[in-house]
Amino acid sequence: MAGIGFELKNLFKRKGILALFRAYGYAGIICTGPMILGVVLILGIMILAGVYGAVKLDRDLLVCMITYALLASLTVTSFFSMVTTRYTADMLFEEKQEKVMPSFYGCCAVMMTIGGILYAIFLVFSGIGPGLQLLNLLLFEELIVVWTQINYLTAIKDYRGILITFAVSLAAAFLVGFLLLWLGVEVKVALLVAACVGYGIMLIWYMVLLLQYFPEAEGSIFSFLRWFDLYLPLAITGLSVNIGLFFHLLIVWASPIGEQVLGLFYGAPAHDVPALLAFLTILITTVNFVTSVEVNFYPKYRNYYGMFNGNGSLKDIRQAEDEMLTVLSNELLYSARKQLYATALAISVGVLLVDKLPLGFTDTMNNYFRILCVGYGLYAVGNSVMLILLYFTDYMGAMWASLAFMMVSCIGSTWIAFWNVKFIGFGFFLGSAVFFALCVMRLGWFTKKLPYHILSTQPVIVQRTTGIFHTLCNWIERSEHHA
């Protein structure tokens, strides 16, 4: 994320409201663009389908197909994203830029193959027709690539290109949807094609940006697999956070308020709509983490760690540490306050606004919305603190906090969903509260002995790490060589 920080620092130095909007817009789109596109597409599809008189079954099935593709692709990529980000950072630090794109190709190949096979098996037995199966599989594979591209785009400073890509992708999706519906194409097919076109344009344009920035690929595309033996806690952290964040949706679909839409596609409109709107409230923290914590904290962080590699005296190191931790504390508190205000505003004013929208909100849905707003708010702040733990390479602390989040959220959501549907959302809320508390306590404990963790916990001699991923990578490279 440091690549974003450098560019944003220049943008924030410029005066004027336009420069401020550009800085926040860049951070928001590069971090949340594909997710925002998914949310807007779902809402837009509901509106378009309603305008063209689609029956409720078709509308619900469309939302289910897009939602399933989003969640399935996020789950697959969550295991790889943090490790490949670490690999990319290491290659850039070692000035081996030519090894970046091979890891991208290899990562996409592995995820698209394994994930594609599993998702295709699900689609075969899902109950939808072959045409919809192919379109839904195409959307899933596109999303795999887009989520992966986001990890690599953090090193690119072409913010105009990224912003234009998002705008064009969104406009093209709705234009294609309108055109196909006007031509009389079946609603389900037309709008699913529109979603594929939107993400397809984003994928192609992001690919162009990556190829313009990184040099031609050299080396095996599977070398990045060795990093899983080195940084397996990162992979577990990514997967655990993703499961903790989204598993409660699956539980609700299987609960008494869940509805079978068609075959294996289930939904719970009374919960899904409030959850979708509540999820949007955390975007402010996601963007603020990049624009505030990254821009202001990273220079202090880099200066502090640089003194251990340079000629910094003990006094200079202590002063740099105090400055860094002061800035970190201020920025995290600032982010938490912003999220608190956003959550309070959503609960008070947001409930009044959604009642005015044609979404059919009931008192029960309003209760779900309030609970989930608080839960997502706690998760957003806790996730920001967890990312700071990763900055300080406290991978084990981040992993255990994420595992606790996943377990409490999953167990709590399962128990409450089948105990009393009125309290659905409390399981996720409890998981988020535990996640937030553990991350804050761990960061406080870790930073109290920061020099010790930096210097004394490192191995005295270089240790060669081997494991199943090293063995697998060596076997693949030997096979490529003989071929």
Q: Which residues contact 72 (CB under 8 A, 6 or more apart)?
A: 115, 119, 122, 140
d(CA 34, CA 270): 25
Backbone CA torsion sign across 181, 187, 192, 195: positive
Q: Quote the mean pLDDT of the chain.
A: 81
- Residue-level pLDDT at 483: 56
pLDDT at 458 over 70: no
Instruction: Considering only residues 462 and 407, tell me which one the structure prediction assigns the higher pLDDT.
Output: 407
pLDDT at 310 over 70: no
d(CA 54, CA 294): 45
Specify the pTM: 0.85
**Average pLDDT of span 31-47:** 67
- Residue-level pLDDT at 462: 54
Size (the chain), residues: 483
The closest of 346, 385, 338, 383 to 368, measured between CA atoms, is: 346
- Residue-level pLDDT at 244: 92
CA atoms in the 13 A half-sphere facing the CB of 255: 25
- Residue-level pLDDT at 319: 87
The closest of 153, 211, 168, 207 to 32, measured between CA atoms, is: 153
The full set of domain ranges for the chain reads: 1-230, 249-448
- Residue-level pLDDT at 297: 82
Instruction: Note the pLDDT tens digit of each residue in 226-259.
Output: 888 888 899 999 999 999 988 888 888 888 888 8
pLDDT at 355 over 80: no
d(CA 228, CA 221): 14
- Residue-level pLDDT at 3: 42
362 DSSP β-pair partners: none
Using 50, 70 and 90 to split pLDDT, how confident is the model at 158? low
Rg of the chain, C-alpha, whole Å: 23
Query: What one-letter code names the amino acid at 284?
Result: I
Q: Which residues contact 198 (CB under 8 A, 6 or more apart)?
A: 37, 41, 169, 170, 172, 173, 176
- Residue-level pLDDT at 12: 53
- Give the ranges where 183-225 is alpha helix by DSSP (H): 187-213
Burial code (b: 16+ CB inside 10 Å, e: under 16) for 357-368 equals eebebeeebbbb
- Residue-level pLDDT at 21: 61
Q: What is the dihedral of CA 167, 336, 340, 42, to 10 degrees?
A: 30
Instruction: Note the pLDDT tens digit of each residue in 254-303.
Output: 888 888 888 899 888 778 878 888 887 887 777 777 677 767 787 788 78
Hey, what are 6's tokens? Answer: 């450098």
**Average pLDDT of span 310-316:** 73
- Residue-level pLDDT at 465: 64
- Residue-level pLDDT at 299: 79
Worst-scoring range by mean pLDDT, 46-60, 222-236, 293-307? Answer: 46-60
d(CA 33, CA 40): 10
- Residue-level pLDDT at 215: 74
Most confident range (mean pLDDT) of 91-95, 142-146, 227-231 is 142-146
Worst-scoring range by mean pLDDT, 6-20, 101-115, 261-275, 423-437? Answer: 6-20
**Average pLDDT of span 146-150:** 86
pLDDT at 120 over 90: yes
Hey, what are 126's tokens? Answer: 């899902």
pLDDT at 359 over 70: no
Q: What angle do CA 92, 143, 132 make, to 5 degrees?
A: 160
